[in-house]
Amino acid sequence: MGFRKKNKSPPVLSHEFVIQNHADMVSCLAMIILLGLMFEVTAKFAIMFITVQYNVTQVLDEKSDPVNLYQYGPKDAATVFFYLLIAVILHALIQEYILDKMNRRLHLSKTKHSKFNESGQLAAFYLFSFIWGCSILTAEDFATNPTFLWEGYPHTHMVFQVKFFYICQIAYWLHALPELYFQKVRKEDIPRQLYYICLYVVHITGAYVLNLHRLGLVLLVPHYLVELLFHASRLFYFSDENKQKGFTLWALLFVIARLLTLTLSVLTFGFGLPRTENQGFSLAEGNFNVLTIRMTCLAAICLTQAWMMWKFINFQLKKWREHSQNQASKKKAVSPKSKPQKREPTRGGAANGVVKSEEKTSPRARKAKAS
């Protein structure tokens, strides 16, 4: 991990050297970009990496002050790259100063150690994103006006908070790809993590590019709440295996979140967007309101929700089987009390103080046997 002092340093530029010092290398690269602001020649290039691009000033009313709004464009790739570097640095800080210290106290196995690190990183990200997303939705008053999902489409202009939110989301999930190498993730865990990382990148980037950032934000907030609850419950479970109540609440909210996602998606792509005034396809205007794109987006969301429900059902069945096996093993361990056995009378010369009659011989009989 980055920021960790090692007694024996591996060879320079070897795999182990890069893994141990990747956060320091990334920090140097980020500092070089920041130092570019100090020189006039490089400042215009450095600003492209650090600040949000494509701002547009609009005047809503004659009496109101002008409002700064933002669009998206190819220069956003540079901004995403810079905040990807910041995400790698923050990932290393959380791992080094929080998760590693907790792992030393818990003494977890290798499998649990890997899952504990994964849940710790994702729980921190989900908590931050959920609070940030809720603050944006509160300003938009979605609860009182759900039709804002499709009214006025295409939504080519965004406020600063919305655009920066999407930039950070894309940067974080892209940074998760090299972290599979930096964290030495086990080979059997790589396909599972690749699946959900790629799904996040595709869906969030699609909502950003297709000017569906309102719908994307509304769907991300409840989803992040459910995922936060799951990973927090798994952290508590690793600390104490008796703490499993959080999984029950997570299971309930997971199903509700899937139904909410499907409902809002069908409502937006099936009823809202087809009835808006701006119909057609135009890259210049950012309008993608055609039947093919709408059905493709809806199919992608429905297939993703179906896949998540399939994984959820398999997880619950596996958990139920493990619980049944544990109960059966506990019943076998507690065997019934054995009944006391009756003692059989001995076949010796005397039984219970009674002397056989054959042993009571007279002296004459003994003499006769002797003769």
Q: What percent of the chain has pLDDT over 70?
A: 85
Backbone angles phi, psi at 157, to 5 degrees: -110, 140
The answer to whether the CB of 30 falls within 8 A of the CB of 86 is yes
Q: Does some domain include residue 22?
A: no
pLDDT tens-digit map of 260-273: 999 999 999 999 99
pLDDT on residue 345: 52
Q: Does some domain include residue 293?
A: yes
pLDDT on residue 321: 86
The answer to whether the CB of 287 falls within 8 A of the CB of 154 is yes
Is the pLDDT assigned to residue 360 strictly greater than 70?
Answer: no
Is the pLDDT assigned to residue 239 strictly greater than 70?
Answer: yes
Q: Does some domain include residue 60?
A: no
pLDDT on residue 169: 97
Q: Does some domain include residue 166?
A: yes
The answer to whether the CB of 33 falls within 8 A of the CB of 51 is no
Q: Does some domain include residue 256?
A: yes
Q: Does some domain include residue 138?
A: yes
Is the pLDDT assigned to residue 8 strictly greater than 80?
Answer: no
Q: Does some domain include residue 370?
A: no
pLDDT tens-digit map of 335-354: 554 445 555 554 444 444 44
Give helix then strand counts, H and E, for the chain: 11, 6
Calculate mean pLDDT across residues 85-93: 96
Give the residue numbers spanning the domain of 253. 72-323
Task: Extract the tokens encoding 19.
Answer: 């893994």
Is the pLDDT assigned to residue 355 strictly greater than 50?
Answer: no
pLDDT on residue 338: 47
**How many separate domains does the chain show?**
1
Q: Does some domain include residue 171?
A: yes
Q: Rounded to whole angstroms, how far apart are CA atoms 235 and 120?
A: 7
Q: Write down the mean pLDDT value for the chain.
A: 86
pLDDT on residue 249: 93
pLDDT on residue 13: 76
pLDDT tens-digit map of 55-81: 998 876 666 778 889 999 999 999 999
Calculate mean pLDDT across residues 19-35: 94
Q: What's the length of the chain?
A: 371
Calculate mean pLDDT across residues 131-135: 95
Q: For 41-45, 169-173, 317-321, 363-367, which range has the lowest pLDDT when averaged over its residues? A: 363-367
- The number of CA neighbours under 13 Å toward the Cβ of 192 is 9
The answer to whether the CB of 36 falls within 8 A of the CB of 43 is yes
Is the pLDDT assigned to residue 83 strictly greater than 90?
Answer: yes
Buried (b) or exposed (e) across 46-83, using 16+ Cβ within 10 A?
A: bebbeebbeeeeeeeeeeeeeeebbebeeebebbbebb
Backbone angles phi, psi at 213, to 5 degrees: -65, -25
pLDDT tens-digit map of 164-185: 999 999 999 999 999 999 998 8
Calculate mean pLDDT across residues 242-255: 88
Segments of the chain assigned E as strands: 55-58, 67-70, 280-282, 287-289, 350-351, 354-355
pLDDT on residue 280: 92
pLDDT on residue 324: 82
